[in-house]
Amino acid sequence: MKIVPVKKQFRIIGLAACAVTLWVVLSTTGCAKPEPIKIVPPAATALPAPTQTPQPMQVYVSGMVIAPDVYVLEPGSRIKQLVEAAGGFADGADTAVVNLAQPLTDGAHVHIPALGEESVVSPPVISSPAPARSSEEIPIGSGGNLININLALQDELETLPGIGPITAQKILDYRAANGSFTNIEGIMSVSGIGEGKFERIRSLITVGN
Q: Which domains are present in the chain? A: 57-127 (3.10.560.10), 147-206 (1.10.150.320)
Residue 18 has pLDDT above 70, yes or no: no
pLDDT bin (cut points 50, 70, 90) of residue 13 is: low
pLDDT in tens, 64-123: 899 988 899 998 899 999 999 999 999 988 888 888 888 988 888 888 888 877 644 334
pTM check: above 0.85: no
pLDDT in tens, 160-201: 988 888 889 999 988 888 888 999 999 999 988 988 888 889
Residue 136, pLDDT score: 41
Which amino acid does the sequence have at 110? V
For residues 24-42, average pLDDT: 62
Residue 135, pLDDT score: 39
Residue 149, pLDDT score: 92
- Say how far apart CA 179 and CA 74 lie, in whole Å: 45
pLDDT in tens, 140-152: 333 447 889 988 8
For residues 40-50, average pLDDT: 66
- Residue ranges of alpha helices (H) inside the chain are 6-29, 79-85, 154-157, 165-178, 195-201
Residue 108, pLDDT score: 86
In the chain, count H helices and then E strands.
5, 6
Residue 141, pLDDT score: 37
- Report DSSP letters for 170-194, one per residue: HHHHHHHHH---SSGGGGGGSTT--
